[in-house]
Structure 1
Amino acid sequence: MPGRMSADPSLEPLRAQLARIPQVHAMQIRVDGVVDGRMCLHAPLAPNVNDKGSAFGGSLVSLLTLAGWSLATWRLLRAGLQAEVYVADSQVRYLAPLYDALQAEAWLEEGDWDTFVRTFAERGRARCRIAARIALPDGADATTFSGRFVALARG
């Protein structure tokens, strides 16, 4: 999936929400799609480069956070639920410099989506833990992320 944007219509409401975030425009982020339950986002290196010619750490963590946020938001949107999704806390590990495009993938780290969606529908709030990674061209991890996201009913 890297490098190709999915035409999946279920992603359009998510893309519309992301389009309202200035950081998404500045980083030139696009939603590539969902593959095997993993949300895939892409950002080119040029607008996300540091003084060493590698990916800027702030861009890496931003893309990983947005990948997690996008996955939780998309899951709720697919269930017909509107929510405000926030990252509550996260841990990031920078393992190797990246001199290529940023390809992030995020997946549910703990629990299951049915419980998350049902809890939100019943209580108007739910939590989930999402893992994410940005890989080097050879497939090794450049940066890893684990975050707790909270969904709250709009109101």
Structure 2
Amino acid sequence: MSRDSRYLESILHHDIPLTREMGLKVLDWQHGQLQLHLPLQANINHKSTMFGGSLYCGAVLAGWGWLHLQLREEGIEDGHIVIQEGQISYPLPVTRDATVVCQAPEEKVWKRFVATYKRYGRARLTLETWIVNEGSEEHAVAFTGQYVLHR
């Protein structure tokens, strides 16, 4: 696990205690992509699949974590990140441990976001995350979230 991954996991577990109970782990942060791990056993429902609320939390947290680390790399540490809205779909059940992935938006979108924040002290960014069952590449969950950064 990289230093950035350990740092983010520590922040999440300290600032959002629910993440400890969910068993959430930061797997990887590189090349503009964040990967989180959600264990089935800590998030299981009455149908022996992963609870939809845990999946939603994991998706939101992947976006939040991606933005937190990317801002840190950019040298922006004076803002507060909040989720403003989110849309989620669950096309497949999650029946095993899961990997949650958030990928960087297009470079021009990111640059516009940073410029807006620097100028106005507030900016919005839409991020997409997805969740796959361990050992699969098929998206079991798809999430689009709008995050706000403000001073």
> Normalized against structure 1, the TM-score is what?
0.86
Partner letter of residue 14 of structure 1?
L
| Contact 2:127–2:145 (Cα < 8 Å) also in 1 | yes
Partners in 1 of 2:139 and 2:44 — Cα distance? 18
Deviates more, 1:108-117 or 1:118-127: 108-117
Separation in 2, partners of 1:145, 1:119? 24
Matched, 1:127 2:121: no
The residue that corresponds to 1:62 in the other structure is: 57
- The corresponding residue for 1:39 is 34
1:71 aligns with 2:105: no
2:55 partner amino acid: L
2:75: which partner in 1?
80
Structure number with the higher helix fraction is: 2
Q: How many residues align?
A: 147
Q: TM-score, normalised by structure 2?
A: 0.88
Q: Which residue matches 1:3?
A: none
Kindly indicate whether residue 11 of structure 2 is the aligned counterpart of residue 14 of structure 1.
no
2:20 to 13, 19, 25: 25
**Would the aligned equivalents of 2:43 and 2:54 in 1 still touch at CA under 8 Å?**
yes
Q: CA deviation at 1:109?
A: 4.3
1:14/1:116 Cα in 2 relative to 1: closer, same or farther (>3 Å)?
A: farther
Give the alignment's Cα RMSD to 1 decimal.
1.7
Q: Return 141-150 or 130-139, whichever deviates more.
A: 130-139
User: Is 1:90 paired with 2:95?
Assistant: no
Q: How does 1:76-155 map to 2 (within 5 A)?
A: 76-82=71-77, 83-109=79-105, 111-136=108-133, 137-153=135-151
* 1:130 Cα deviation after fit: 0.3
- Structure 1 unmatched runs, 5+: 1-5
Q: Which runs of 5+ in 2 are unaligned?
A: none
Aligned partners of 1:35 and 1:142: how far apart in 2?
23
Following superposition, the deviation at residue 134 of structure 1 comes to 0.5
- 2 CA distance for matches of 1:16 and 1:121? 27
SS of 2:111's partner is: helix
